[in-house]
Structure 1
Amino acid sequence: MRTLTVGVVAHVDAGKTSLTERILHEAGVLDHPGSVDAGDTRTDSLDLERRRGITIRSAVASFAWHDTLVNLVDTPGHSDFVAEVERSLAVLDAAVLVVSSVEGVQAQTLVLARALQRLGLPTVLFVNKLDRTGADPDRVLAQVGERLTPDAVPLGTVDAPGTPQAAYLPFVPTDGERADLRERTRAARVQPVVFGSAITGAGVPALLDALTDLVAEDAACTTPPGEDHHHLQDQDHDHDHDHEPAAGTVFKLDRSAAGSRLTYVRVTGGTLRVRDRLEVGGRVPERVTGLEVFGPDGLRRVEQVDRGRIAVLRGPVTARVGDTFGTGGLRARQVELGRPSLETVVDPVEPSQRGRLFAALTELAEQDPLIALRLDDGRGEVAVSLYGEVQKEVIATFLAEDHGVKASFRPTTPICVERVRAAGSAHQLIDVSPNPFLATVGLRVEPAPVGSGVDLALEVELGSMPPAFFAAVREGVDGTLTEAVHGWSVPDCRVVVTHSGYYPRQSAMHAGFDKKMSSTAADFRSLARLVLAEALARAGTVVCAPVHRFELEVPQDLVGTVLAELPHHRAVPHDTRVPGTSATAAAVLSGDVPADEVHGLAQRLPHLTRGEGVLTTVLDHHAPVTGPPPRRTRALPDPFAQVGDWGRVQRSWPAR
């Protein structure tokens, strides 16, 4: 039986979760599709998701369609939870991109479509809401061609759009046409388009046919033929031969109701069995104590899982999102839809719960690594990274309801970066005052192109000192670049090692190793931090704040009102257009807005647009700040405090 892992992605409110529910109903998993409004959907299982009517965490359901076992991954549509989408895309075989036939192509639709194209991920478009008043599939198909891809291929036509009787009429291709379309779809050279309605079910069976006929690979899993496909095979039968070692990718972490860790993996090769020992992320092997797969009734315990399945592991406790194990099978895709651009300090309402708050946030950070906890031991503060204000509200609810900790949040601030202005260098020689370390380190820092990362180069011989000391220099460099001159990170620069030297391992007569006479990795780690701090201070840095690209859909008659509001939020419009020819079509404004102004603009929008405006933003770039550069509190000892006053180093720096 073939396997196919498909993700459903969309702009918020395009009907993504409703489509997931209808698919599960058509596949026989659900007696009736759940409703987002009624709060009874299968995939939105969290109470908070049902109350708010949005998807917060990705969810998995499995079913069989014809000869294919389908793992269906429902992802969030709200841009504040784009990290969940990102993690899901990394393990998919294909995607369904949902577009509303009423609202058309929206800003988050563009973000997702571009990501799918970059990944070369086979994609089927589902134009939803055909039964809704205002549905215009021809207009939306034209938008798809203009704004998403010129390679969209409709697989049928629509009858009576905009009415409850709207129907999808699929074309009947010849065998040759089907084979050609299958080849091009699997190669992501074309994107088939199916029209339908998640509410009425129109077009949904045709969507499933398109996925299984055009996208699914021919490779088979070990489900025996003749098994009832609507009751998934447990795959717990024993094999007489030795099984191929498992390979896979961790894409989600969660906790059971009892608090035990659940590790979601996509098995990309071999066979995974209970009691296997896995080197997850290259760390110490850990034993798998339990395995579960998704079936019609939810999770079911099994003894083994074969290639292509999504499984929930119990046992490994060090796994992190993005980790891999094994060497066979497919590799996870590297996906990046945008980094968090905001942060806030979280305080417990009850000071006595500070330890409990940190433990709870640590658990949330395991599930969502981009929360990126920063702990300032000196001030006892914990900061978390955010995509937006909705995410802050969700974190507060999780803390209160799941961990019993009431938390308050300080005002949200943008996460800036520092860019190196020019080249700067510094060095300290071993046994030459004021250097307190048994090491020689010289470093030159230079600007580098945006997005190039940190490059460490050598102008000394690689054999001039042990590899462990070069590794320690790199650790010291990374530590200083995490919190640079003004406390912000330096994401892009070139650091060159210009000087190196050390004392080899020495011992006093009739004594053991004497660290006062011999260089250690700690010497190089600490000295590299100080030397790079001096080099950065000489080079100079400029603080740059995050800027989002926005798309704002507003009624045409209110464009002037909205344009007048944008300067109050430091937003700069670059383009105004009206997709389509209808007099009622919304105008689309696009431009740049500082990350810390997005929430304020979003709050003003309903008042300015009669509640009809839709704002979507995504982090686009960083721009130099005007006025005094903002400073960020440090979580690590401050090496810049020592620059220019090396005599203080021995007294205040944790040298060895």
Structure 2
Amino acid sequence: MKKIVLGILAHVDAGKTTLTESVLYLSKAIRNLGRVDHGDAFLDYNVQERNRGITIFSKQAVFNWNDCQITLIDTPGHVDFSTEMERTLQVLDYAILVISGIDGVQVHSETIWKLLQHYQIPTFIFINKMDNIHTNKEELLSELKKRLNEQCYDFENLDDDFYENIALNNEVLLDYYLKHNTLPKEMLIEEIIKRQLFPCFFGSALKMEGIDTFLNEFTSYIKEKEYPEDFGARIFKISHDKQGNRLTHLKITGGTLKTKAQIGKDEKVDQIRIYSGNKYQLVNEVKAGDICVIKGFKNIMAGQGLGIEEEIIQPVLSPYMDYRIILPEDHDWHQTLEKLSLLAQEDPQLHINYNNHTQEIHVQLMGAIQIEVLKNLIN
């Protein structure tokens, strides 16, 4: 069985969470089909997410389709939480970019596209909301080619022109095409991996139209990565559970990791958790390609690598607005600073700074909604 890590990304309101819900329901990973407007989507279980109807924190779910075990990472779509989205990109094998058939390619869609290019992630495109009577498939595809990449193709209609155009990518493809007048799937898979080809699919997540076709085609055009035997891991997220335990989210990029393993001098693996939604199961060992959560690490930070992953990955996006946090006079400063310290571990891009002399707290943020979310987190 192929094992991959898949990220789902979109501009806010493109229907990303609805598509995620449909995928999990059709794959029988969840029993009931939730909805954003009903406040019961499987992965948007945080109170603030349900109240606002948006994804704020990246979360994962595991499902099977055909011969694939897929760890799906749902990411925030709102621009205010794009640094949270970017942190997941360093561990993805593939990505699905969701585009609204009503709104087309948005400015933030282009930002996401540039990030996918920066991290060199093979990308499939799902154009959602095609049940709307005003959507035009040909116009949308033309817009994708113009604003994202010329190599965006409708994979529901692979005609002779498609094969001829793809054959122009390189001499090997061209030679094969001239001899056989077509291209085998294996060659198309390699072009997708090299980001020289971007399969596009159309449907409606809300009405679950075209989802099963998309999943069938998607799983037939992906390839499992080959990993080295030496241990390696990439950390992409820090969080805390309800008991206050520090949780380190990572992908194993080589070898294996077992419980009770010692990492360096000071870090020990107390638990290995495999999350799906807000529930998890404990395992004794994880292997290359797995996404897991470690309880026990104390000082390892997001972006850091372990073992063969020595390089620290620096994010592309950074908050551009500096704010001063003003607390009520009767507020407990020490308690607030403790909460902010935990938040700084979870989101290093906040750049929380406390000046002892002036007793001023400064934080860097992306926008108004993030300000409101931060207020609720430290209250």
Q: CA deviation at 1:58?
A: 0.4
| Residue matched to 1:98 | 98
Relative to structure 1, the CA distance from residue 285 to residue 77 in structure 2 (aligned partners, 3 Å threshold; closer, same or farther) is same
Q: Which runs of structure 2 are paired with 1:158-307 in the superposition (5 Å)?
A: 176-217=183-224, 219=226, 246-279=231-264, 284-295=265-276, 298-307=279-288
Q: Which runs of structure 2 are paired with 1:386-465 in the superposition (5 Å)?
A: 386-400=365-379
Q: Which runs of structure 2 are paired with 1:479-494 in the superposition (5 Å)?
A: none
> Contact (CA 8 Å) 1:249, 1:332: kept in 2 or not?
no
Structure 1, unmatched stretches of 5+, are 158-173, 222-243, 401-656
State the number of aligned residues. Answer: 356
**SS in structure 1 opposite 2:220?**
helix
| Residue matched to 1:325 | 306
Q: CA deviation at 1:285?
A: 3.4
CA distance in 1, matches of 2:301, 2:116: 24
CA distance in 1, matches of 2:313, 2:268: 27
**SS in structure 1 opposite 2:212?**
helix
> Contact (CA 8 Å) 2:57, 2:75: kept in 1 or not?
yes
Deviates more, 1:376-385 or 1:210-219: 210-219
CA distance in 1, matches of 2:320, 2:139: 35
One-letter code of the match for 1:190? L
Relative to structure 1, the CA distance from residue 354 to residue 142 in structure 2 (aligned partners, 3 Å threshold; closer, same or farther) is same
| Residue matched to 2:168 | none
Structure 2, unmatched stretches of 5+, are 158-180
CA distance in 2, matches of 1:109, 1:394: 23
Relative to structure 1, the CA distance from residue 371 to residue 62 in structure 2 (aligned partners, 3 Å threshold; closer, same or farther) is same
**SS in structure 1 opposite 2:35?**
coil
Relative to structure 1, the CA distance from residue 183 to residue 30 in structure 2 (aligned partners, 3 Å threshold; closer, same or farther) is same
> Contact (CA 8 Å) 2:43, 2:278: kept in 1 or not?
no
**SS in structure 1 opposite 2:369?**
helix
> Contact (CA 8 Å) 1:119, 1:333: kept in 2 or not?
no
| Residue matched to 2:289 | 308
CA distance in 1, matches of 2:23, 2:101: 18
Q: Does 1:365 align with 2:344?
A: yes
> Contact (CA 8 Å) 1:68, 1:216: kept in 2 or not?
no
Give the number of the structure with larger relative contact order, counting CA–CA contacts within 8 Å between residues 6 or more apart: 2
One-letter code of the match for 1:292? R
Q: Deviations over 1:16-43 (max 9, x none)?
A: 1111111111111012321000010111
Q: CA deviation at 1:351?
A: 3.6
Q: Deviations over 1:381-414 (max 9, x none)?
A: 11111111111100001112xxxxxxxxxxxxxx
**SS in structure 1 opposite 2:114?**
helix
CA distance in 1, matches of 2:325, 2:111: 30
Relative to structure 1, the CA distance from residue 333 to residue 356 in structure 2 (aligned partners, 3 Å threshold; closer, same or farther) is closer
Is the radius of gyration larger for structure 1 or structure 2?
Answer: 1
| Residue matched to 2:81 | 81
One-letter code of the match for 2:368? E
| Residue matched to 2:32 | 32
Relative to structure 1, the CA distance from residue 5 to residue 29 in structure 2 (aligned partners, 3 Å threshold; closer, same or farther) is same
Q: Deviations over 1:498-547 (max 9, x none)?
A: xxxxxxxxxxxxxxxxxxxxxxxxxxxxxxxxxxxxxxxxxxxxxxxxxx
> Contact (CA 8 Å) 1:89, 1:335: kept in 2 or not?
no
Relative to structure 1, the CA distance from residue 65 to residue 297 in structure 2 (aligned partners, 3 Å threshold; closer, same or farther) is farther
**SS in structure 1 opposite 2:324?**
strand
CA distance in 1, matches of 2:105, 2:216: 24
| Residue matched to 1:374 | 353
CA distance in 2, matches of 1:364, 1:385: 12
**SS in structure 1 opposite 2:235?**
strand
Q: Which runs of structure 2 are paired with 1:467-506 in the superposition (5 Å)?
A: none
> Contact (CA 8 Å) 2:304, 2:311: kept in 1 or not?
no
| Residue matched to 2:170 | none
> Contact (CA 8 Å) 2:49, 2:56: kept in 1 or not?
yes
> Contact (CA 8 Å) 1:250, 1:263: kept in 2 or not?
yes
CA distance in 1, matches of 2:219, 2:184: 16
Q: Deviations over 1:261-295 (max 9, x none)?
A: 1111111111111000113xxxx331100011135
> Contact (CA 8 Å) 2:141, 2:153: kept in 1 or not?
no
CA distance in 2, matches of 1:332, 1:151: 31
| Residue matched to 2:162 | none
| Residue matched to 2:172 | none
| Residue matched to 1:348 | 327
**SS in structure 2 opposite 1:37?**
coil
> Contact (CA 8 Å) 2:95, 2:121: kept in 1 or not?
yes
Q: Deviations over 1:315-354 (max 9, x none)?
A: 01111111111117xx889464421110111122244411
- Tell me how large the CA RMSD over aligned residues is: 2.1
**SS in structure 2 opposite 1:361?**
helix
CA distance in 2, matches of 1:371, 1:40: 29
**SS in structure 1 opposite 2:96?**
strand
> Contact (CA 8 Å) 1:250, 1:264: kept in 2 or not?
yes
CA distance in 2, matches of 1:175, 1:306: 38
Q: CA deviation at 1:4?
A: 0.7
CA distance in 1, matches of 2:190, 2:52: 41
**SS in structure 1 opposite 2:191?**
helix
**SS in structure 2 opposite 1:115?**
helix
| Residue matched to 1:41 | 41
**SS in structure 2 opposite 1:57?**
coil
Q: Percent identity among equivalent residues?
A: 31
| Residue matched to 2:13 | 13
Q: CA deviation at 1:116?
A: 1.4
**SS in structure 2 opposite 1:194?**
strand
Q: Deviations over 1:219-273 (max 9, x none)?
A: 499xxxxxxxxxxxxxxxxxxxxxx553111111111111111111111111111
| Residue matched to 1:111 | 111
| Residue matched to 1:166 | none
Q: Which runs of structure 2 are paired with 1:500-649 in the superposition (5 Å)?
A: none
CA distance in 2, matches of 1:387, 1:73: 22
One-letter code of the match for 2:263? L
**SS in structure 2 opposite 1:316?**
coil
| Residue matched to 1:404 | none
CA distance in 2, matches of 1:23, 1:285: 41
**SS in structure 1 opposite 2:196?**
coil
One-letter code of the match for 2:67? D
CA distance in 2, matches of 1:57, 1:357: 21
**SS in structure 1 opposite 2:340?**
helix
CA distance in 1, matches of 2:154, 2:312: 28
Q: Deviations over 1:566-586 (max 9, x none)?
A: xxxxxxxxxxxxxxxxxxxxx
Deviates more, 1:351-360 or 1:364-373: 351-360
**SS in structure 2 opposite 1:216?**
coil
CA distance in 2, matches of 1:80, 1:104: 20
> Contact (CA 8 Å) 1:288, 1:313: kept in 2 or not?
yes
> Contact (CA 8 Å) 2:304, 2:312: kept in 1 or not?
no
